[in-house]
Structure 1
Amino acid sequence: MHSTITTFVFDVYGTLFDVHSVKEKADELFDGRGTEISDIWRRKQLEYSFLRQMMGNYEKFSDVTEDSLKYALNQLSISYSKKEVDSLLEQYISLRAYEEVQDVLSTLKENGKVLAVFSNGSRDMLEPLVEQAGLSNYFERIISVDDIKQYKPTPASYTSVLKVLGVKREEVLFMSSNGWDISGAKNFGFHTAWINRNHLPQEELGLAPDYTFDSLDAILDLK
């Protein structure tokens, strides 16, 4: 591990928590169509946050998430009620943490590392999610882009990490399962570890991650 790294910053969706654990509830509500719904929902969630950033029409991530879900259902020609939409949205505050997460966070914390969450999620999504998973005590801060209304991967969003934690960019190891987020963080100047859970190809943006792992476990082996 690079000698300057003191602070471990984690993305949330897809990194600490499985966004596709919503599939089970979607299957239950919509006759086994959970995989289709979840895939489109996640894709549009990212697209809408990027589009709103570019258009200068910021809305918090909980609203983007609802709009994306409605789009997914409409694309699939699935009729739905407000109750069904609300029921699925509630799943976002009870997503399943990946199995290695608690042990990794516990070990890093015991070793005196500073840990933080940094996400496009809004606080009404992030805080109950981290709390219900029993992970709150591991993190110094939960940092949401909603506090500055700048979605990742803008440089301004990553700057908020430095301001909130009072660290320099070279002191941060940023971890995400999202290739676009890793590219943004690398462009900003963070050390980066891509948690490539889905074994995807590297983004062709000329911004290779410093490390690439299948899961967060490998973070503990960095020297």
Structure 2
Amino acid sequence: MEEIAMPETLAFDIYGTLVDPLKMEEKLEPFAGEKAGHLAKLWREKQLEYTFRRALMRRYEDFGVCTRQALAFATQSVGLELSREDERNLISAYQSLPAFEDALPGLRALRSQGHEMSAFSNGVEESARKVLEQAGLFEYLNTVISADEVKSFKPDPEVYRHACERLGGAPEEVWLVSSNPFDVIGAKSFGMRAAWVRRDPKTLLDPWDIEPDLVVRDLLHLAKELG
């Protein structure tokens, strides 16, 4: 008899997993020209670095502040001076990040299989919800769980604990779905299950002897594995 897959509780990272922050390159081109790709990458790297540092220092400022300060650092590092209006426009554009090509059909397929699906992000709930709505993804998710609710950031174990409590499951009963290696390792370290969405085969997982339960190339592949 064919085994019937059971519905799972899935918590999806947003930035870098469902929507693509590096697509800000297109918005940066009018200001940075050929440096736009480098600038978008540096902006993202600094954004994450600032969340890590603030969590460790217990000097919390929300994800929007980290994003804005990371943009200031990135532009200054390439000798670019933005007007306040240009800065506001770029931060506003960050609320309209495009979904990865597989995100919508992948979420649709997973929803049809009966999985319980929520977003789980460092982003403030209101901003994260807006990003998902703009990308056409929110209707497939039950809710948004934000690290802002505990005033810290992934990979602080308290953030993963909060997500599991919100979802009503023990850590081993909840899946994190993320493209970010630090997030996958953080969730596994806490005791959750984790699916690493490795869209780029050149992306490496840190050699910490902590492995994801699943490695998939995209969300459609995840649906196939869980279905």
Superposition TM-score tier, normalisation by shorter sequence: over 0.9
Deviation at 1:5, TM superposition (A): 6.2
Q: Which residue of 2 aligns with 1:75?
A: 77
Q: Does 1:23 align with 2:29?
A: no
Structure 2 counterpart of 1:209, from 191, 205, 212: 212
Q: Which moved more, 1:190-199 or 1:176-185?
A: 190-199
Contact 1:92–1:125 (Cα < 8 Å) also in 2: no
Q: Which residue of 2 aligns with 1:123?
A: 125
Report the residue type matching 2:207 in the other structure: E
Name the SS for the 1:96 alignment partner.
coil
Structure 1 counterpart of 2:192, from 174, 182, 190: 190
Q: Which residue of 2 aligns with 1:44?
A: 46
Deviation at 1:28, TM superposition (A): 1.9
Deviation at 1:56, TM superposition (A): 0.9
Q: Does 1:66 align with 2:68?
A: yes
Deviation at 1:139, TM superposition (A): 1.1
Deviation at 1:4, TM superposition (A): 7.3
Name the SS for the 1:17 alignment partner.
coil
TM-score normalized by the length of structure 2: 0.93
Name the SS for the 1:131 alignment partner.
helix
Name the SS for the 1:193 alignment partner.
strand
Give, in whole Å, the separation in 1 of the partners of 2:146 and 2:39: 26
Q: Which residue of 2 aligns with 1:161?
A: 163
TM-score normalized by the length of structure 1: 0.94
Aligned Cα root-mean-square deviation (Å):
1.6
Deviation at 1:209, TM superposition (A): 1.0
Structure 2 stretches of 5 or more lacking a match? none
Name the SS for the 1:203 alignment partner.
coil
Any idea what the Cα deviations from partners look like across 1:69-126, whole Å, max 9, x if unmatched? 0000011111111111111111211001011111111122122110000011112420
Kindly tell me: are residues 109 and 4 of structure 1, through their superposed partners in 2, closer, same or farther at Cα, counting changes over 3 Å? Answer: closer
Give, in whole Å, the separation in 2 of the partners of 1:155 and 1:139: 23
Structure 1 stretches of 5 or more lacking a match? none
